[in-house]
Each structure stands twice: as C-alpha cells, then as structure tokens.
Structure 1
Amino acid sequence: MSALTARGFGLLVAAVVLLGAGFRFAYPELVLLGTAAGTAVGYAVTTAVWRPRLVVVRSADPDRVARGEPAAMTLTVRNAGRLRSASLVAEDRCGDRAVPVPLLRLRPGRDTTVRYDVPTSRRGVVPVGPLRVTRRDPLGLVALARPYGGTVPVWVHPRVHPLSAVPTGAGRSLDGRVDRVPHGSITFDSLREYVVGDELRRVHWRTSARVGELMVRENVDTSLPRIVVLLDNRAGAHPGRVDGVAESFESACEAAASVLVAAYREDLPVVLLPVAPEPPGAGPADDPVTRGGGPLDLLAAARLADDDVLGPATTRLRRERLGDTLVFLTGPGGREDLGTVGALRAAYPSVVVGVFGARGPAPSGAPGLVVIDAADGAAFAAEWDGVRRW
C-alpha cells in the first residue's frame, strides 16, 4: 500500500497551483517551479515503487508451549538483490504487537537477524508475521508498504496440572488395572493392508484372496478404558468475561488438557469433543495458518460459541458411545444442565463433571455422577486425585 506523505501531498498541490498560475498568467518562472515540483513527486513515486528482493525466514523456538512458558521467534531477513536497499523501515507482527526490525541500508547478500519473545500470557494461537517493509524515497514524499514472508503460528496450550489417577473403565483386567495388549485382543474392529512386521496369524486369508493383497485383522481391547472429554464451550455456560476472556472457560481448558495428558501417559484412548462445534470456515481450526495437529492444539484454538444448545452433543454421545468414561467440563452457566448429562449414564457407566467458577455447590443433577466444584485447573486436579470411585 502506497501513499503520499504530508510533504508529498503539499508538494503535489503546489505543483498544480504553480503550473495553473504560470500558464494562466504567462509566468514561465512559475511554470518552471511547478514542473520541478511535479518532477520531484514523479521521481519519488518511481523510487518508492521499486521492490527490493528480500528473503524472510522465521523460526519459532518452540512453536508449542504451555501458557506462561517462554517462547521466542527468530527472524532473518536477507537482501537477495544487487542494489542496496536504502531507506527501509520494517516491523514484524506478533499477535497484536508490532516489533521493529532494523533494515536500514542492508547491503546485497547480507542478512540481519532479530530475536524477540512471543507473548504467552494467554491461551490461544499467536500468528506471527508477515514482515511489513516500508520503503521511502530520499525526499520523504512517498511511503510504500509491502508484506514479505508468510505467517507462522505459535500454539499456547493450556496449563497442564499433573493427575496421578485415571479412570479404570468398565472392564477390569485380571492381571492388573488395565490390559496392555499392543494391537487389542478381544473385539474385531477393521481390516487393513499388511505391513512388514505384522504377525501372519492375524492375516485374514479369505479377504486377502478376494482383493489380491494381504489384509490383516485389527482388534480392539474392550477392557481398556476409553475416555471422552466433553468441553462446554457455550458462551452461556461461561457468563463472566473480562476483556473477552472467561476465566471459567480457561480453567475448563486446563482441566481438559490435564485429563488428555494423563490419558496419553497411561496409553489410554481419549477423545476431545466440544459441545458447540464452530461452523466450517468460521474457526481457527479451518484456517491453514492456525490449523493444529492434535487435541492440545485444538484446545489452544478453542473459543466460546454462541450456540447454547446441549442436546445435539448429548444425542451424538448416546448414539455413538465413544467410550465408557465421560468427563464433562463446564462453567457456572452449565450447572442446570447436569441432569441432561446425567441421563448419559446408560451409555457411559462413569460420568465425571467439573464445574468451574461457580459461587455455590453444584446440584447433584443425577445419581451416580461424580461432581467436582473447582475454582481453577489446579483445584480441579487436586479434587480429581481425591476421587475414590469412578
């Protein structure tokens, strides 16, 4: 984007006035001055339009951190042109902050490196870039700004609070708390192509003969507990917001991250579901810049949705039966919905509810529910480890 500076606009107006007056009253001196002023503006535009060849490389260290942990961005700008890129002013975008980058008189073939901290005080996805380079002419009449390089996201995950206990599921192992069979042992799940290292006794010969290639049976171990984390991201469930941030929702995200990490540590299957999914194309998960690769990235990009209906989420959970342990994490506005969640006990033998930010104790909702009232994620972790039954 280019624009005349105040000095350039004034000189252009002066050129028009001088030329008009000179031709109108036949004053060659005024025509000469007007021509000189117009020539200066034209020279400034021509100089500023020239595009310097800059190569921008950026690297986040690291690109995924927990809230409050340090993260840094390293930006390297190299002059790939043959001419000196004089009078350049540059700044990098880091979220809502502008970071100045020194590029004044960067010689051909040389580069400059800038390293700065990325703000991680809030959970979210921090887009960094692109670099905005402003080129000015020597007279300061025209300023032309162009973007260079792409955008690199930094995922700020919720804080993770260690959990020493995990649900043991509806099925019990005879040899321990849970079974440890690598490929499952009880229930047939699907067929897949054979890969080197698979046991030949798991080959399904009838299907292999029909399709012309080796097919292997995949089984699942139904004694392994399967955990479903239902994150209540309805705006009505988290009414208290300060500067657009609902602390109860941040605490729910921390609790969800803590349950996910505890399940990963124990090699247990776990699924993360939001109550109100964002429509396609409307959320960070649909943006190629901020699209993540796992549940913790989804938690970093999670935000409150206007949809205030819990019914579709519970209907899906009842129909698909994604696990045997349901963990429902909500805010003070979701306390009245515990009866709806408690109705899922027929499909999920173990239901744990976490209520954050409530001023009073949550209602019982339904018999058999384990209800944890917590002020934040740390209090939830302490209460979670104190649960004696699932």
Structure 2
Amino acid sequence: MSDRGQVRQASNSRTVRGQSGHVSRSSLSSSHFDSANGTATVGLTNARTRIVGNRTGFLADAIITLVRLFRAIGEVLSAWFRRVSSVVTPLGWSMLLLVPAAFVFGYGLGWVELVAVAFAGTVLILIAAAYLVGRNAFAIDLTVAHSRVVVGDRATGLITVTNPTRRRLIGVKVEVPVGRGLAEIAMPGLSRGAAFRHEFLVPTSHRGVLAIGPVRTVRADPVGLVRRELVWTTARELFIHPRTIGIPSTSTGFVRDLEGNPTRDLSNSDVSFHALREYVPGDERRYIHWKSTAKTGTYMVRQFEETRRSHLVIALSLASANYATDEEFEMAVSVAGSLGARAIRDARNVAVVVSEKTPEFAKRKVLAVRHLNTLTRTRLLDDLSVVDHAESALGIMDVARVAADEITGISVAFLVCGSLATATELRAASTKFPPGVEVVAVVCDPETIPGLRRVAGLSVLTIGYLEDLQKSLARAAAA
C-alpha cells in the first residue's frame, strides 16, 4: 500500500472514532475554543464564568465591567465605613441619627425648640470632627523593668513620651492595656524637646502571663462623640511565676544515682559492693573473691547493689475534682515548681507532666499528658505560669498511668494533687508504676498539720504551707 493510501486510511479511522463517541480533533477545536479569539471558555470556574457563563461579546464585557466597578466602589465604601466606625462612638452614631430627625420633625411640626436642639447637635458634631484633624508627632517608648517576676513581687512599667518637633504639642490621654485592665495616663502638653515619664504598677497577685501594651494615645471630644486611637508601641509579655522554695539536695534522699544511695535490688555487676555468696554456674569468674575462696575452700563471688541514673517524674494533676479550693491548686503548682527546679539544679533527669484536657464534645476521655519544658528552671516556671485546672482534665490516677507508660527508667515519681484526692486513688495511682519505683504523693491542704503516711510502696506527704515541703521530704527520706 502506498503512503497516500496509508494517510487516507488513518484519516478515515479518526473520522470513525469521532462518530463512535470519542473526541475528534475537529470537535475539540470547535467546543473548547471560541471561534472569534481562540481562547478557552469551557470548563473554567472563575468569577467571569459564574456571571456570564461562556458568553463573549460587548454585552458580556459590559456586565463584567459593571461588576468590577461596583466591587471596587464597595471596597472603598467598606474601608471608609471601617475607618469611620472605628472613631465614632455609640453616642456619636446616636447623635448622627437624631440631628437629621430633629430637623425634619422640627421644621415639619413647627417646633422651634426641636430645631434649636438640631442646630446644637450640629455644632457638637462639627466640634467633635475638629478633634480628629491632625496627628501628634510624639515619640513614645514602653519599658518593662523585668520580663519575669514571682507572684506577689513588685513589677512596674515605664512610659517615656518625648516631643521631637519644634512646636509645642498639646496633651492627650495615654492608655496602656495591662492584661484585662487598663492604665490611663493624662499627659500634659510638651514643649520643644521636652520629655514626660510615668511609672505605673503592674498587678502580680495572680500567676500567669500578662500582656502589657501596646501604648496608644486617645484623642476624643469632651462630649464623647468621637474617639481616635493611635498605637505607638508593641506589646510586652510579663511572666508571673509561681512561688517556689529552695529544697536542699539532702532532702531529696529518694533520688538514687551513681553519686547517691544505691537501690535495694541486687546485681551481679555494679559499683556498690553488697556481700559475698557462693559461686553458681553462670557467674563471671572476674568477680570471684580469691582470698575468701582460699579461706573457705569454696568459690565465693562478689554481689553488688544495683545503682542507676535517677529519673524523676513530677506529675501534677489539673483536674478540678482533686482540689477543694484555688488556693490548694496554687500550692500544688508551687510544689511542682520547687521539686522540678531542685532536680534541674542538680542536673538530674527530670520530667514534669500535667494533665491533658478532654475536648468539650469528645466522645471519650483523652488519656494523655503534656510534658513541660525542663531544659532550664526558667522555662519550666514559664510553662507552669500558664497551667490551670479544669473539670475535663485527667485525675491523678490517670496521669500516673499515662506517665508510667510514656516514660521509661523511672526511679522516683512525685504525684502532686489537692485534698480531694482520696487515699484509694493515691494507692491505685502508685500501682501504675513498675516495681522498685519510689512513689511519693504530695497532698496540698492549706493550713492543715503536715503529716507523713506510708502505705505499701507509697509515701503520702500532707502539707499545709509550702514551707512544710522541706521538712516533710527530709522526714520521708529518713523513714
């Protein structure tokens, strides 16, 4: 067959495929591209196709132009309305509605007094608008003396306002948001190069993180129709740490490592010698004590007490069901911070965990704990500054179970909770840890007499004041 015959046959095959339902080249060209300009119109999902579909021509272009014009006008009006609404107070909006109504009804009913009220309102609106004109060229700086303080300590902030211009600037009101509060400062007028400094107190009665600032100046008319705010600085954060006490290293006698007390578990190879015993098959020959072997005539080998690098776990319950009052919870946070800070200072392996909260509409309880940062003492206290109790948080027993599953090599576990945690719950929590782990429950009950109770595998310390923690730990370690 010649080449011309092959070409004709291929052309016929394309035609047959097009008739059988497949897309042919000619149909693709006519349906997917506009015949006038060759641009694709089918299959698009942009704004144009939603408005005019696949139509082209003058009418479609005119509709699109009108839509774009109205959209641009709407954006301008929306931006203008947002700017106006940010400076007009509710009283100002009321005045803007009442003045035209007073004019209409005053002239319509011939009520002279109502017309006078309308003119008076107009004068007030014009005066208020005059207060919005212009911008004060202040230089304002916000300084916070410390970024971290202990709850109850004195903390202050300093605002410095200077006039860098050559003219006198009138005084305005300066506002500084401090947490949920607001510090208001009436600033006097400043002459050329003058400065104004004002120190204000920051409340530190509650643990948490306070956002201080940003500093803003307020220009408002005397009646209160308009209010214009200008932001000058960024916000500063102040961490209010929980109160902690220094725990002597000797008070944490529960902690066992190569430099501390050995464990009661016996081992065939370690560094802490315990006793001699008779040789049994399988013992290493290097531990044979030859002098005793010569005296007794029987092979004697050394036996050691096992020592290991200590790993402390401090588990803090955030469940509201474990605390009778907020004072108990604050004491528990301070206990966890004191224990963690001491362990970090001693360069020990420590993990501080708190309860996770179950979402409000969850189908089942979330069994998880949140690990706090223990890299440094400061970071640990930063994390403890923001913890809070909740009804949906895990109780002390669930916290102990999750911590025992997630953390390996635990030697000492401190369970910190309030007075509503029962002895049964504490005993059940202690059983979640592997055998050999020393479990200490610290029960915070303000103003109660400190005490120590020992149950199988569990020491329960009850403290009434934070300072009782030192003596209670020393007593428990001695016991």
1:229 equivalent to 2:317? Answer: no
Query: Which 10-residue stretch deviates more, 118-127 or 99-108?
Result: 99-108
Indicate conservation of the 8 Å contact 1:53/1:81, yes or no. Answer: yes
Q: 1:327 to 1:81 in 2, by over 3 A?
A: farther
Aligned to 1:333: 420
Aligned to 1:349: 437
Could you give the per-residue CA deviations for residues 166-206 of structure 1, whole angstroms, max 9, x where no partner exists?
Answer: 24644434xx669xxxxxxx9xxxxxxxxxxxxxxxxxxxx
Aligned to 1:263: 343
Shift of 1:32: 10
Indicate conservation of the 8 Å contact 1:15/1:33, yes or no. Answer: no
State the alpha-carbon separation in 2 of the partners of residues 238 and 366 from structure 1. 22
Could you give the per-residue CA deviations for residues 49-92 of structure 1, whole angstroms, max 9, x where no partner exists?
Answer: 65545554322222212222222212234457787653522232
Unaligned runs of 5+ in 1: 179-185, 187-221, 241-245, 286-291
**Of Structure 1 and Structure 2, which has the larger fraction of its residues in helix?**
2
Q: 1:375 aligns with which of 464, 467, 476?
A: 464
Q: What SS class does the counterpart of residue 319 from structure 1 fall into?
A: helix
Q: 1:66 to 1:40 in 2, by over 3 A?
A: closer
Q: 1:147 to 1:367 in 2, by over 3 A?
A: farther
Q: How does 1:151-170 map to 2 (within 5 A)?
A: 151-164=235-248, 165-167=251-253, 169-170=255-256
State the alpha-carbon separation in 2 of the partners of residues 143 and 82 from structure 1. 28
Shift of 1:141: 5.5
1:324 equivalent to 2:385? Answer: no
Indicate conservation of the 8 Å contact 1:7/1:140, yes or no. Answer: no
Indicate conservation of the 8 Å contact 2:418/2:445, yes or no. Answer: yes
State the alpha-carbon separation in 1 of the partners of residues 116 and 327 from structure 2. 68
Aligned to 2:143: 59
1:120 equivalent to 2:204? Answer: yes
Q: What SS class does the counterpart of residue 214 from structure 2 fall into?
A: strand
State the alpha-carbon separation in 1 of the partners of residues 411 and 336 from structure 2. 17
Aligned to 2:188: 104
State the alpha-carbon separation in 2 of the partners of residues 349 and 45 from structure 1. 74
Q: 1:347 to 1:81 in 2, by over 3 A?
A: farther
1:21 counterpart letter in structure 2: G
Q: What SS class does the counterpart of residue 99 from structure 1 fall into?
A: strand
State the alpha-carbon separation in 2 of the partners of residues 105 and 119 from structure 1. 29
Q: 1:2 aligns with which of 80, 83, 87?
A: 87
Q: How does 1:42-81 map to 2 (within 5 A)?
A: 42-48=126-132, 50=134, 52=136, 54-78=138-162
Identify which of structures 1 and 2 has the higher relative contact order when contacts are C-alpha pairs closer than 8 Å and 6+ apart: 1
Q: What SS class does the counterpart of residue 246 from structure 2 fall into?
A: coil
1:294 equivalent to 2:379? Answer: yes
Q: 1:166 to 1:69 in 2, by over 3 A?
A: same
State the alpha-carbon separation in 1 of the partners of residues 225 and 406 from structure 2. 63
Q: 1:9 to 1:263 in 2, by over 3 A?
A: same
2:179 counterpart letter in structure 1: G
Q: 1:101 to 1:353 in 2, by over 3 A?
A: same
State the alpha-carbon separation in 1 of the partners of residues 164 and 355 from structure 2. 50
State the alpha-carbon separation in 2 of the partners of residues 94 and 31 from structure 1. 45
1:273 equivalent to 2:357? Answer: no
Q: What SS class does the counterpart of residue 346 from structure 1 fall into?
A: coil
Shift of 1:248: 0.9
Aligned to 1:146: 229
2:460 counterpart letter in structure 1: V
Q: What SS class does the counterpart of residue 234 from structure 2 fall into?
A: coil
Q: 1:70 to 1:25 in 2, by over 3 A?
A: closer
Shift of 1:120: 2.2
Could you give the per-residue CA deviations for residues 133-155 of structure 1, whole angstroms, max 9, x where no partner exists?
Answer: 32123x64533052623332222
Q: What SS class does the counterpart of residue 244 from structure 2 fall into?
A: coil
TM-score with structure 2 setting the length: 0.57
Aligned residues: 329
Shift of 1:332: 1.1
2:421 counterpart letter in structure 1: G
Q: What SS class does the counterpart of residue 2 from structure 1 fall into?
A: coil
State the alpha-carbon separation in 2 of the partners of residues 75 and 147 from structure 1. 15
Q: What SS class does the counterpart of residue 259 from structure 1 fall into?
A: helix
Percent identical pairs in the alignment equals: 20
State the alpha-carbon separation in 2 of the partners of residues 11 and 108 from structure 1. 38
State the alpha-carbon separation in 2 of the partners of residues 103 and 65 from structure 1. 28
1:305 counterpart letter in structure 2: A
1:321 counterpart letter in structure 2: I
Root-mean-square deviation (CA), in Å? 4.1
Shift of 1:326: 0.9
Unaligned runs of 5+ in 2: 1-85, 263-269, 271-306, 361-369, 371-376
Aligned to 1:385: 474
Indicate conservation of the 8 Å contact 2:452/2:472, yes or no. Answer: no
Could you give the per-residue CA deviations for residues 224-255 of structure 1, whole angstroms, max 9, x where no partner exists?
Answer: 32211111111111123xxxxx1111111111
Query: Which 10-residue stretch deviates more, 365-374 or 80-89?
Result: 80-89
1:251 equivalent to 2:331? Answer: yes
State the alpha-carbon separation in 1 of the partners of residues 328 and 92 from structure 2. 52
Indicate conservation of the 8 Å contact 1:93/1:129, yes or no. Answer: yes
Q: 1:98 to 1:141 in 2, by over 3 A?
A: closer
Q: 1:140 to 1:116 in 2, by over 3 A?
A: same
1:21 equivalent to 2:106? Answer: yes
